[in-house]
Amino acid sequence: MAEAQLCGLQDEFTCSVCQDTLTDPVTILCGHNFCLKCLTDCWDQSQECSCPQCRHTFTTRPELNRNTLLNEVIKKLKKTALSSPPSQNYAGPGDVECDFCTGKKLRAEKSCLTCMASYCEAHLQPHYEGDALQHHKLVDSDRNLKEKLCEKHQKSLEMFCKTDEMCICLMCVVTEHDGHEKVTLETEREEKEKQLGATLSDIKRRLEEREKTLKQTRRAMEEMKVSGIGRQHFTSKRGE
pLDDT at 11: 61
Q: Could you tell me where the DSSP H helices lie in the chain? A: 2-9, 36-44, 68-83, 121-129, 170-175, 185-239
Whole-model pTM: value is 0.39
Task: Centre a 10 Å sphere on the Cβ of residue 160 and count the other Cβ atoms it contains.
Answer: 22
For 23-39, how does the pLDDT look when each residue is reduced to its tens digit (9 = 90+)?
A: 899 999 888 889 999 98
- Boundaries of every domain in the chain: 2-83, 88-145, 149-240
Helix (H) or strand (E) segment spanning residue 166: strand 166-168
Angle in degrees, CA 107, 108, 114, rounded to 5: 165
Q: What percent of the chain has pLDDT over 90?
A: 15
Superfamily of domain 149-240: Classic Zinc Finger (3.30.160.60)
Contact 6, 27 (CB under 8 A): no
Mapping DSSP onto H, E and C, the string for 32-49 reads: CEEEHHHHHHHHHCCCCE
Q: What is the CA radius of gyration of the chain?
A: 34
Which residues are registered as beta bridge partners of 182?
Answer: 161
For 139-171, how does the pLDDT look when each residue is reduced to its tens digit (9 = 90+)?
A: 888 877 777 778 888 787 888 999 999 898 888
CATH fold of the domain at 2-83: Herpes Virus-1 (3.30.40)
For 205-235, how does the pLDDT look when each residue is reduced to its tens digit (9 = 90+)?
A: 999 999 999 999 988 888 887 776 656 655 5
Across 51-65, 85-99, 137-151, 160-174, least confident range: 85-99
* The CATH number fitting domain 88-145, selected from 1.10.1760, 1.10.1060, 3.30.450, 4.10.640: 4.10.640
